[in-house]
Amino acid sequence: MTEIQRIGVTRRWSDVVIHHGTAYFVEVADDPQQDATGQVAQVLAQIDARLALFGSDRTDLLQVLIYLADLSDGGELNELWDNWVPTGHAPSRACVQAALSPGYRVEMVITAAVRQSGQGTSVPPDIGQSDRQ
pLDDT of residue 119: 34
Which three-class secondary structure state does DSSP give residue 130? coil
Residue 118 contacts by C-beta under 8 Å, 6 or more apart in sequence?
none
The domain ranges of the chain are 27-114
Per-residue pLDDT tens digits for 65-96: 999 999 999 999 999 999 999 999 999 999 99
Average pLDDT over residues 16-45: 97
**Is residue 123 within 8 Å of 53, Cβ to Cβ?**
yes
Instruction: Report residue 2's pLDDT band, with 50, 70 and 90 as the boundaries.
Output: confident
Burial 4-38 (b: 16+ CB within 10 A, else e): ebebbeeeeebbbbbeeeebebbbbbeebebebbb
Model confidence, pTM:
0.86
Q: What is the CATH number of domain 27-114?
A: 3.30.1330.40
Per-residue pLDDT tens digits for 92-117: 999 999 999 999 999 999 999 998 75
**Is residue 8 within 8 Å of 54, Cβ to Cβ?**
no
